[in-house]
């Protein structure tokens, strides 16, 4: 039977702990006992962990054998803030697909009341990402950033910067990026990007790309774009490994 995986909130030497709601669930619902074994992620590594202390809001582990190491796929999605129930679904699915970072974006056509309430949702969004990462047996949870404005996004330095745009007709996403290095993709609000925003992205050196002729809802577009990137990265890794094997 596969052991349950938890992402540690605290790590020190060969000790780790989870706290808060996660710990209460493990202690009170799953009734964790001293000596039980779980998989504990400490960031880029997963260890075999043995429960050494159980309290209502804190469970501590002794770390044993190293089980897994993993480097994240360096994909960031900046998504204009949209309806929260659908945004939560998007965060969960992006986490399952392996993104490194999710940036809630404030665009000109973002709904003002959603923007005003977004900062109060951050803790919930981060909790959703952490729970989805554990469910998907990821080694680490993606970062969910504080809401950012477009000027903050334009200042970020990454290998490939792609603006997903419904008005772009000639360049498909798969053609717009090389899958070496980091990827940052920006997704506009339901009302679309304003012309001056598109111009700002262009002047900053971003590449505009499309996901095809169909008009997709925001959450669908994000998931589809991440799937294109992750599948391309896996194919590229397989191709490199095959070339190395052939060379030997």
CATH number for the domain that contains residue 99: 3.40.1280.10
Q: Are 61 and 110 contained in the same domain?
A: no
What distance in Å separates the CA atoms of residue 233 and residue 239, rounded to the nearest whole number? 10
Are residue 192 and residue 141 in the same domain, yes or no? yes
How distant, in Å, are the alpha carbons of 188, 213, 221 from that of 169?
A: 16, 8, 15
- Nearest 5°: phi and psi at 32? -60, 145
pLDDT in tens, 4-48: 888 888 998 899 999 988 888 888 888 889 999 998 988 778 889
**Number of domains composing the chain:** 2
> CATH number of the domain that 29 lies in?
2.40.240.20
Residue range(s) defining the domain that contains residue 94? 75-238
Nearest to 182 by CA among 165, 157, 205, 206: 157
Whether residues 127 and 150 share a domain: the answer is yes
Residues 180/225, Cβ–Cβ less than 8 Å: no
Alpha-carbon distance of 32 to 221, in angstroms, equals 40
Query: Over the stretch 139-154, which tens digit does the pLDDT of each residue have?
Result: 888 999 999 999 999 9
What's the rounded mean pLDDT across residues 118-134? 94
Average pLDDT over residues 46-53: 91
Residue 239, phi then psi, degrees to nearest 5: -65, -45
Distance CA 82, CA 115 (A): 8
Q: Is residue 246 one of the residues assigned to a domain?
A: no
Q: Which residues on neighbouring strands pair with residue 222, listed in sequence order?
A: none
Instruction: Indicate the pairing of strand 5-7 with strand 37-41.
Output: parallel
In this structure, the answer to whether residues 155 and 100 fall within a common structural domain is yes
Residue 247 domain-assigned (yes or no): no
CA distance 4 to 163: 38
Domain shared by 232 and 199, yes or no: yes
- Percent of the chain exceeding pLDDT 90 equals 53
In this prediction, residue 2 carries a pLDDT of 65
The lowest-confidence range among 148-152, 181-185, 197-201 is 181-185
* Residue 168, pLDDT above cutoff 90: no
The verdict on 128 and 189 lying in the same domain is yes
Last-in-domain residue among 69, 84, 112: 69
In this predicted structure, what is the pLDDT of residue 120?
Answer: 95
Helix (H) or strand (E) holding 113: helix 112-135
φ, ψ of residue 184 to 5 degrees: the values are -125, 125
Sorting pLDDT into bands at 50, 70 and 90, what band is 56?
Answer: confident
Q: Are residues 19 and 82 in the same domain?
A: no
Specify whether 96 is located in the same domain as 57.
Answer: no
Same domain, 86 and 126: yes
- pLDDT grade, residue 71 (50/70/90)? low
Predicted pLDDT of residue 166: 77
CA pseudo-torsion sign 156, 157, 158, 162: positive
Residue where a domain stops, chosen among 69, 90, 119: 69
Residue at a domain's end among 51, 69, 87: 69
| Average pLDDT of the chain to the nearest whole number | 86
pLDDT in the model for residue 236: 53
Q: What is the predicted pLDDT for the residue at 248? A: 47
User: Is 94 within the bounds of a domain?
Assistant: yes
Identify the weakest region by mean pLDDT among 39-48, 55-64, 92-101, 188-197.
39-48
101 and 214 both lie in a single domain: yes
């Amino acid at each position: 039977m596969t052991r349950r995986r938890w992402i540690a909130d605290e790590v020190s030497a060969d000790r780790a702990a989870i706290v808060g709601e996660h710990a209460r669930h493990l202690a009170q619902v799953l009734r964790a006992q001293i000596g039980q074994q779980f998989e504990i992620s400490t960031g880029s590594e997963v260890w075999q962990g043995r429960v050494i202390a159980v309290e209502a809001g804190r469970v501590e582990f002794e770390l044993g054998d190293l089980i897994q190491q993993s480097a994240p796929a360096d994909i960031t999605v900046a998504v204009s803030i949209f309806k929260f129930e659908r945004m939560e679904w998007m965060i969960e699915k992006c986490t399952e697909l392996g993104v490194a970072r999710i940036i809630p974006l404030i665009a000109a056509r973002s709904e003002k009341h959603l923007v005003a309430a977004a900062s109060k949702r951050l803790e919930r969004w981060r909790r959703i990402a952490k729970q989805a990462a554990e469910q998907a047996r990821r080694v680490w949870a993606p970062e969910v950033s504080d809401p950012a404005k477009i000027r903050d996004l334009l200042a970020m330095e990454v290998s490939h910067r792609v603006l997903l745009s419904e008005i772009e007709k000639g360049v498909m996403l798969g053609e717009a990026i090389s899958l070496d290095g980091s990827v940052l993709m920006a997704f506009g609000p339901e009302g679309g990007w304003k012309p001056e925003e598109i111009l700002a992205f262009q002047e900053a050196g971003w590449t505009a790309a499309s996901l095809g002729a169909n008009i997709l809802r925001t959450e669908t577009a994000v998931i589809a774009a991440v799937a294109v990137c992750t599948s391309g990265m896996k194919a590229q890794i397989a191709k490199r490994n095959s070339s190395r094997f052939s060379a030997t």
